[in-house]
Amino acid sequence: MLRVAAGYTRQSKAKSDKSEASPKTQDEATERKARERGSSFKGHYRDIGVSGYDPSVNRKAFERLLNDCRDGLVHEIIVFNVTRFSRREPKDAIPIVLELFSLGVTITSVSEGSFSPDNTMELIMLIMRLDAAHTDSKNKSQTISSVKKSAKELGGWTGGAVPYGLESYPESISYIGDDGKQAAITIRRLRPASVQEDGTDQAGEVLKMVDRIFEYKDRPWTGKQNAHPASVGAIVAWLNSRQVVTQNGGMWRERTVKRLLTDPRIAGMSAEPVYATDADGNPTRNVSGYRIIRDGNEDPISIGEALIPSGKFFELQDWLSGRGRGSRGGTVSKYVMTAMERLYCECGRPMTGSRDVYKCSRPSGVVEPGTHEGGSTIQQKDVDTYVAARIMAAIGNADGDDPETMDIIVEAMSRLARMTENPEARSARAALLGERAQVVRSIEQLYSDLKIGIYDGEIGRRQFLADKQSLENRLKGLDEKIREVGSPDLPPLPIEQWGASEDGDPVGPTSWWARADVEDRRMLVQLFVDRVEVSKAAGRGGFSPSCKVEDRVKVRMASARANDEGAEALAQMTAA
């Protein structure tokens, strides 16, 4: 019977120094070897960008090859060398080898010979080679990791593509090692890129991007055909229209600009990329964000000279994430309640404006179990007036001693203060709050890792407690710094102006509300309201006189107490 051979090719990543055979080279060699051995060649099974060292990585092609061996479709596996087969510990690789041998499958290495299932000595030799491959990989990994760790801790850039707008340079520094002795190391740092001979000024282009966003981000935008000038899409169009090229000489894309502007290294902070994962949980090559690297005091480690100040960087992140778009920034809405993360349908979807109604944004024909059937609409004027009446009721009782009303008023004052605060103070606070948010996310991730068993065992438990203590200490330090910076002074609310009316009706035809434009009405809603939820009408179309707006609309007013309770809950979680 003609034996069937298959080639297995694996490469964790391309090596710039060509120290590892390329996938093409491996493919050609394994197929040639199969012909030399007189076997029928079934084809190539390729795992590219997959580590042979990490046991948690899912090698899809390798699993498919094993299944074909189990089904009797493959009699011989040919690899370039045994390191392509596995770099894991022998105890992890041996069960696979023994299973293949029990199936009568021969393992052949192009450079090391064949290992057949009927020869015990060849099995021992294969195990020894697997052990050598694992030890070599482990030693290299530990050495490289140790060097990179030292460089990172000292603020060094450890490789990869230099971010657009920056350049690297060497710097020799002295430090005290773990053994208490002074040592010297040369690390690479980052700084704003110099202007190139052809006039290319990458650092200048980054500054122009940031300046353009800050120039336009707080301005209302009424354009219908084009994106807001401070949006990522508009920045992309602006760069390409000026024929500014990317690092690789191509055109800009939204993902490229977003990745550049969210990279903490442009603000002089050391950071490492966070990669998205695929459906199987394996990391991909797509960067989903960045993690700031911190020192023992949990302060950001400097990686060199900042291209933009850290405060401005964190304020930029607020805009890019959508958090920093106030009532006067962004695209002007012609509807009072939409595009503010305030108006929702009972099914949880946001509501949108359409002519004279608000409607659920669920696409037509989509059915979601447990929610309303069909669409859901409500008259805009009814909702706007009802919400305004609720706001005016709170304003009208501002001089009273009702705790709930005072809570609403205090929170409205705080929100107005944040809207009107000077940019310098806002930038300083944004830097602290941005870092605090990252620490909170790290704490949440820590507890998620604990839940899925990453910290199982005595050593894992100690590491979890150490990481938890480190993050809690930093959170405490940031909270102290935030208190030092202080909150913006609470301005008086123009209550008399908002509640003024010739006929005594604060939402009637002679009221401030009736005269106010859409943007002023939206600002009032942002100050006083957290959420408006609309239920589906009992009758068709939602226009039945018996269907009152107060029966369909629930308004959750702003609350300083709710924010305090959320902060307290967070503190309790991190202290648990």
Tens of pLDDT along 321-344? 764 454 444 445 678 998 888 999
Crossing angle of the two packed helices 560-575 and 403-420, in degrees rounded to 10: 80
Same-domain status, 34 and 52 = yes
Same-domain status, 437 and 514 = no
**Residue 156 within a domain:** no
**Residue 300 within a domain:** yes
Nearest alpha carbon to residue 393 among 376, 401, 405: 405
Distance, CA of 49 to CA of 235 (rounded, Å):
33
Distance, CA of 566 to CA of 441 (rounded, Å):
15
Q: Containing domain of residue 451, as a range? A: 422-487
What is the model's pTM? Answer: 0.48
Q: How many Cα atoms occupy the beta-carbon half-sphere of 206 within 13 Å?
A: 28
pLDDT of 148 over the 50 cut: no
pLDDT of 146 over the 50 cut: no
Same-domain status, 111 and 187 = no
Q: In this structure, are strands 330-331 and 220-221 parallel, antiparallel, or unpaired?
A: parallel
Q: Which of 268, 289, 321 is the last residue of a domain?
A: 321
Lowest mean pLDDT among 282-286, 340-344, 399-403, 421-425: 421-425
CATH of the domain at 46: 3.40.50.1390
**Residue 157 within a domain:** no
Tens of pLDDT along 534-571? 999 876 654 556 678 999 999 999 987 655 544 443 34
Output the pLDDT for position 164: 94
Quick one: how far is CA 239 from the chain centroid?
24
Same-domain status, 63 and 191 = no
**Structure tokens belonging to residue 274:** 């966070």
| Total domain count, the chain | 4
pLDDT of 223 over the 80 cut: no
pLDDT of 68 over the 90 cut: yes
